[in-house]
Amino acid sequence: MISKRIRHIKRYQEIVAVLVKYGFGYIVKDVGLFHLLSLPKQIISDFSTESASSAPLAAKIRAMLEELGPTFIKLGQMLSLRSDIIPEQIADELRKLQDSVTPIDPEQIEKTIVEQLGAPVSEVFASFEKDCFAAASIAQVHRAVLHSGERVIIKVRRPEIEAIINNDIEILWDLASLVEKRYVWARELQLTEIVDEFSNAIRNEIDYFREGRNAEKIRDYFSNNASVIIPKIYWDYSTHQLLTMEQIQGMKFGELINASPDSVNKKLIAERIVRSFLDQALDAGVFHGDPHPGNFFFFPDNKICYIDFGQVGVLSEEMKFHFSSLIIGLMRGDTEMLQRTLFEMSPTPDKLDERQFQMDLTALRDQYYELPFRDVHIGKVVHDVFQLTNKHHIVIPTNYTLLGKALITLEGMINQLDNAISILELAEPYGRKLLIERLDPQRLAKKWSRSLFQALTHSVQLPSLLTKTLKHLNTGKTHVEMELPQLDLLLSKLDRVANRISFSIILLAFSIILCGLIIGETMGAHPFLSQIPVLDIAVTISLIMFFIVLLAIFRSGKF
């Protein structure tokens, strides 16, 4: 960790300064990063917890993340999906994070295209629009035409963004581990695991080969469905840093809302959006993670088109079953099924109060039990489930929360087209199908045979493992690992005590020397020294040494 701080010292200093600026100086001081601030800031900054209460916390967090740049903006956007682990008011504020930036010089974009495709832009494309029509912190998008006459859009990653993200992730992981050691709430939230999760997500997002493969998987799934359009990927013009795809031109959501009933069937379009999304999530197991109105095009023949596959969720067979079981458990009023499903979806904390959890789960069930599907809003259901898991410190895996957030977004859009459509009503058959498949005799036989094989394998290995364990115990080679989260805090306090003792000793020594010199000068015991300004020289040297030691102690942040 120390080597990381030395390697990225300038960025560390920027981050620490911004944390202090927005009232989080007490965290900087508690985790031992006080010394990264310049001396003037160490003197004038407020490091008390009261400094964080001068403005709404959620707004300050959003402004802070925006100031810290692309990596932190993306982190905030990911956390905005996690209302299961952060308060709803903070999640709401983080959804306002702005990811629009000034476009970069077209020459740099052309240079990237040449580096990636190995030929000048004029050779690769029949025409290329230098002015981008969309720019964000990670990439910007340009229109072009291939020599074959096909119109395409090109998504180009901003230069150096990968190095910036990698550096920031290293720093984020270090900060998360320091905060976990200092605060109980951080350990309960498992901050380092959240950073690991975020690291995987953002690295996937900047890998345009991966985005292209995701788009192609969904395109292949809908290959026989003429009502759903997915843009074609042009692999000969795509790399990890550059993605070229078919240019789709259709109505935007605002135009669809204002379109006359004679030109489009809004109810049919709404149903197609819902069914196509449920097909992705609960059948294909790969779904568009950000189905907001800006990521759709619509057509007069009631076709729909998905665009931008930067966020894609993946659900295994087990995960699909768990999600549908959760919804069905609520509808059936089956508290036991709900509890079992939530426990299977996520590991439960050691200190979980199961009695209180079951009571809260029963109260949640009663809100929806026996209500008709049309009266239940899936967005409200997902929100309530996340609130419950957050209350009991149960961390829901990201793909579930991404699916939940996508359903909430989708419901908001569908209500504008036809508020009589119920996503839950359309989803119910998928859940029943998954339950029936789960109980299929062949599937159960395969599952039991796998479990039996694993049990037999472990039973065969058990004697050798037991022998090895006993041998280690007998020879004294057994290692015991202990985790002491507060050890660094204790050592930090010991450093402070030692520094204060050193400061006191230096001050005492300085006083004794000064007194001795004054007495010597007064007594006039050394005529030779009377010709030299001994007192002035001694005081000057002592003051310099005193301030050097004092500065070192203060810069350590442990005084």
Supply the residues annotated as catalytic. Answer: 290
Grouping H, G, I as helix, E, B as strand and the rest as coil, residue 140 is strand
Lookup result for tokens 């900087």: 28
Task: Say if residues 244 and 154 touch (Cβ distance below 8 Å).
Answer: yes
Task: Say if residues 299 and 305 touch (Cβ distance below 8 Å).
Answer: yes
Q: To the nearest 10°, report the CA torsion of 141, 147, 148, 153.
A: 0
d(CA 154, CA 244): 5
Backbone angles phi, psi at 340, to 5 degrees: -60, -40
Task: Say if residues 427 and 404 touch (Cβ distance below 8 Å).
Answer: no
Q: How far, in Å, are 57, 187, 304, 412 from residue 379 at the CA level?
A: 25, 29, 22, 8
Element (H, E) at 296: strand 296-298
Grouping H, G, I as helix, E, B as strand and the rest as coil, residue 242 is strand
Residue ranges with strand state E in 362-494: none
What is the amino acid identity at position 225?
A: N
What is the amino acid identity at position 201?
A: A
Q: What is the distance in angstroms between the CA of the first residue and the CA of the last residue of the chain? A: 22
Grouping H, G, I as helix, E, B as strand and the rest as coil, residue 49 is helix
What is the amino acid identity at position 331?
A: M
Grouping H, G, I as helix, E, B as strand and the rest as coil, residue 306 is strand
What is the amino acid identity at position 424?
A: L
Element (H, E) at 246: strand 242-246
**Nearest Cα to Cα of residue 116 among 105, 104, 106, 108:** 108
Phi-psi region of 118 (alpha: psi -120 to 50; beta: other; left: phi over 0): left
Lookup result for tokens 């100086």: 25
C-alpha triplet 123, 110, 168: angle, nearest 5°: 140
Look up residue 382 and give its two tokens.
Answer: 């997902």
What is the amino acid identity at position 541?
A: I
d(CA 69, CA 191): 20
User: How does strand 125-128 pair with strand 242-246?
Assistant: unpaired
**Nearest Cα to Cα of residue 386 among 375, 371, 366, 401:** 401
Render the burial of 189-228: b for 16+ CB within 10 Å, e for the rest. Answer: bbbbebbebbbebbeebbbbebbbebbbbbbebbeeeebb
d(CA 164, CA 143): 27
Task: Give the other-Cβ count within 10 Å of 147's Cβ.
Answer: 10
